[in-house]
């Protein structure tokens, strides 16, 4: 039986979220962002499961998504502890700070010199003061028209 | 997509969309360029991403009504754009906030798909608990200024291509699902099998309502989901409870190990032993 258009669109959205999470896991070096990417992949899987659940008119996908939520909560709790421990040891949230754990045949990640970041060159405008600050009446500040 | 005609044109459109998505992700991922060049490439990447999204929307299947279609389009776009921004944003704090937006979109998609309880549970569990935990860790760990490892990526080109290839394959097979029965990937519907008691030979546009009360779109959604969860899956619920307890104890035990202040243990700790 052909899945309904809504199911197919849901599957496409789930695939997009999963692919985005995969790119994040592979490319980013910040441990926290890698974590968020993993959660994004879980969300994509959840959308796919609910889509199939709708197609099959069955509760199985819903129940599986509940267990995915449970495991994701456990995973986040345990892994954030490890992230904090790693940060306490190295002072960085960098995955490459732990590259001594890599395979011996792999090359070492060497950071090149980065150009100045955008944040250093940002210039914020100074707002000119507009108007005159009115006289404050402390009694009026305490009065209220409505309780 | 029309069910029979125009498959090849849809396929080429999808290929262009996937290629645009790969190029957009490569341009948007942090590559440590800095300055005007980085800003220009980011703008071009956003443009390409918008083109890719528009192509995906154009090749998507039309839903029944205009309202339903508009709602699904909005929540799906929020989810996907939030997810992409989570991945490509330099600052991890903004990344977490974009992730919250993506979660809101995902919850909307789940609601549209008929999973009312899961939509709300996603918001409560993720946005309410996990995301706040992420933000706490970020506030503890965030150094002043932007770290160098947030401004460069591991192999941005290869990663973007890998994600795009995966997305292309998945959309290809999802597109073939709609080609109808007789194809290799047509999936038999359980509802049709239950209703008929025979393999699903007739082609129906919608799965027929299940007489056994197992349809997630029926009334008393949460009560039925609870009945299913605590009926057929009771052992799994118990196992999940044990898992939560173990994770709680494990995280507390791990985090309370503070590094020693002095002595030979401290040197070994700093050395990573």
How many distinct helices (H) and strands (E) make up chain A? 5, 0
Statement: residue B198 has pLDDT above 60: no
Q: Average pLDDT, stretch B52-69?
A: 88
- The model's pLDDT over B16-48, given as tens digits with 9 standing for 90+, comes to 999 999 999 999 998 887 778 888 899 999 999
Give the residue, B207 or A30, on which the prediction is more confident: A30
Which stretch of A77-86, B2-11, B161-170 has the lowest confidence by average pLDDT? B2-11
CB spacing of B228 vs A59 below 8 angstroms = yes
Give the residue, B151 or A113, on which the prediction is more confident: B151
Nearest CA in chain B to A11: B174
Q: Which of B245, B251, B254, B268 to mutate to test the interface with A (most CBs of A within 10 A)?
A: B251
Q: Average pLDDT, stretch A115-137?
A: 72
CB spacing of A59 vs B126 below 8 angstroms = no
Q: What is the pLDDT of residue B101?
A: 93
Q: Average pLDDT, stretch A98-125?
A: 75
Q: What is the pLDDT of residue B208?
A: 45
The pLDDT confidence band at residue B273, using thresholds 50, 70 and 90, is very low
The pLDDT confidence band at residue B262, using thresholds 50, 70 and 90, is low
Statement: residue B253 has pLDDT above 80: yes
For residue A28, count CB atoms less than 10 angstroms from its CB and return exposed for 0-12, middle for 13-18, buried for 19 or more: buried
Q: Could you tell me which residues come within 8 angstroms of residue A111 by beta carbon, excluding any fewer than 6 positions away?
A: A96, B148, B149, B152
Among the partner residues B29, B84, B189, nearest to A55 by beta-carbon distance: B189
Statement: residue B143 has pLDDT above 70: no
Measured between CA atoms, how close is A125 to chain B, in angstroms?
A: 19
Give the residue, B132 or B235, on which the prediction is more confident: B235
Statement: residue A86 has pLDDT above 90: no
Q: Tell me which chain B residues have a C-beta less than 8 angstroms from the C-beta of A110.
A: none
Q: What is the pLDDT of residue B141?
A: 67
Measured between CA atoms, how close is A71 to chain B, in angstroms?
A: 8
Q: What is the DSSP string of A36-102?
A: HHHHHHHHHHHHHHHHHHHHHT-SHHHHHHHHHHHHHHHHHHHHHHHHHHHHHHHS--BGGGGGGGS
Best CA proximity match to A51, nearest among A61, A37, A65: A61
Q: What is the pLDDT of residue A146?
A: 57
Q: What is the pLDDT of residue B180?
A: 59
Q: What is the pLDDT of residue B190?
A: 58
Q: Rounded mean pLDDT of chain A?
A: 85
Q: Rounded mean pLDDT of chain B?
A: 80
Q: Average pLDDT, stretch B169-174?
A: 91
Give the residue, A139 or B235, on which the prediction is more confident: B235
Q: Could you tell me which residues come within 8 angstroms of residue B21 by beta carbon, excluding any fewer than 6 positions away?
A: B48, B49, B52, B163, B164, B167
């Amino acid at each position: 039986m052909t899945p309904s258009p809504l199911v197919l669109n849901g599957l496409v959205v789930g695939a997009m979220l999963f692919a985005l999470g995969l790119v994040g896991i592979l490319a980013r070096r910040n441990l926290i962002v890698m974590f968020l990417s993993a959660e994004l992949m879980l969300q994509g899987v959840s959308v796919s499961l609910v889509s199939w659940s709708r197609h099959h008119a069955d509760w199985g996908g819903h129940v599986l998504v509940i267990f995915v939520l449970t495991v994701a909560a456990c995973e986040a709790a345990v892994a954030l502890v490890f992230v904090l421990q790693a940060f306490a040891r190295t002072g960085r949230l960098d995955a490459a700070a732990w590259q001594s754990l890599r395979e011996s045949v792999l090359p070492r990640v060497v950071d090149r010199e980065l150009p100045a970041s955008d944040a250093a060159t940002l210039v914020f405008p100074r707002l000119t003061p507009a108007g005159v600050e009115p006289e404050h009446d402390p009694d009026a500040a305490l009065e209220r028209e409505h309780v | 997509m029309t069910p029979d005609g125009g498959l090849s044109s849809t396929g080429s459109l999808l290929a262009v969309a996937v290629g645009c998505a790969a190029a957009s992700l490569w341009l948007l991922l942090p590559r440590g360029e800095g300055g005007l060049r980085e800003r220009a490439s980011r703008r071009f990447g956003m443009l390409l991403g918008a083109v890719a999204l528009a192509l995906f929307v154009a090749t998507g299947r039309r839903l029944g009504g205009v309202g339903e279609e508009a709602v699904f389009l909005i929540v799906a776009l929020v989810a996907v754009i939030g997810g992409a921004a989570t991945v490509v944003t330099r600052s991890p704090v903004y990344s977490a906030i974009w992730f919250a937006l993506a979660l809101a979109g995902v919850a909307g998609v789940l609601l549209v798909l008929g999973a009312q309880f899961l939509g709300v549970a996603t918001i409560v569990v993720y946005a309410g608990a996990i995301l706040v935990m992420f933000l706490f860790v970020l506030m503890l760990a965030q150094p002043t200024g932007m770290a160098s490892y947030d401004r460069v990526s591991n192999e941005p080109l290869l990663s973007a291509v890998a994600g795009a290839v995966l997305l292309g394959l998945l959309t290809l097979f999802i597109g073939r699902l709609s080609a109808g029965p007789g194809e290799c990937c047509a999936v038999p519907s359980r509802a049709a099998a239950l209703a008929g008691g025979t393999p699903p030979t007739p082609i129906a546009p919608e799965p027929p309502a299940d007489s056994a009360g197992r349809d997630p779109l029926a009334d008393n959604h949460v009560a039925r989901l609870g009945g299913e969860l605590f009926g057929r899956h009771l052992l799994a619920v118990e196992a999940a409870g044990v898992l939560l307890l173990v994770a709680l104890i494990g995280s507390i035990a791990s985090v309370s190990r503070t590094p020693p202040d002095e002595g030979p243990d401290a040197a070994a700790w700093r050395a990573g032993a």
